[in-house]
Amino acid sequence: MQFKEVTMGLHWMTKYRLFFLVGGFLLVAGVALATPGPLEQAQTTVDAVMAILRESNLEKEARREKLSTTIRARFDFTEMSQRILATNWKNASEAQRDSFIRIFSDLLERNYIGRIESYTDEKIDFLKERVQGNRAAVDTVIVTKSAEIPISYRMVQQGSEWMVYDVVIESVSFVNNYRNSYGEILKKEGFDGLLARMTEKLAQLEQGGDSSQP
């Protein structure tokens, strides 16, 4: 049984693929010289990722390792997991929570690395940041040869770093998509059933399987 795809309109597949492009850009932590705001940190990371992708002397595995090492530095997987699981987070045991965060972060890493490596020429314009306390949204637009797609990054401040916990592409939330998809499995099979499905999906990705489904 495959993960049930949540219908998000005719263009969702494109939006999902774009997440791994623009999300991957944000997975590299910028070097803070002063305590830059969320927009500046996001913009710095874009340049850093593009530099990695354009390092022609890097072997494929070395490039992937370099990108992989940076994933945990920009995404707040705990915050993201709590929002995806919603009330199910409270009902889960500590061991179940830890397993979810670990497997989910591995899934995202496996998904995005293979996708982002094929992008080098897209342009991202950073428009504005909206900050409320320790939360922020950074509004951008990605410019491709055929379209301009609005993308907003939801971020939370942790010390001097602004961490991504959601990406909204054309008003479609990445977190909401996973919440709906995983929520259906939780209702039918419980938390351990969800973890088993995620583990199975991760194994498929490691063997070069389809990564287009949540």
| 133 domain residue, yes or no | yes
pLDDT in tens, 86-132: 999 999 999 999 999 999 998 888 877 777 777 667 788 999 999 99
| 212 domain residue, yes or no | no
pTM comes to 0.77
For the chain, how many structural domains are there in total?
1
Pairing mode of beta strands 161-169, 148-158: antiparallel
| 129 domain residue, yes or no | yes
What CATH code is carried by the domain that includes residue 117?
A: 3.10.450.710
| 7 domain residue, yes or no | no
Any idea what the Cα angle at residue 206 is, between residues 100 and 113, rounded to 5°? 85
Q: Which domain holds residue 74?
A: 38-207
Residue-level length of the chain: 214
pLDDT in tens, 16-38: 566 666 666 665 544 444 578 99
| 170 domain residue, yes or no | yes
pLDDT at 214 over 80: no
Give pLDDT, residue 39.
Answer: 96
Give pLDDT, residue 10.
Answer: 42
| 135 domain residue, yes or no | yes
| 55 domain residue, yes or no | yes
| 26 domain residue, yes or no | no
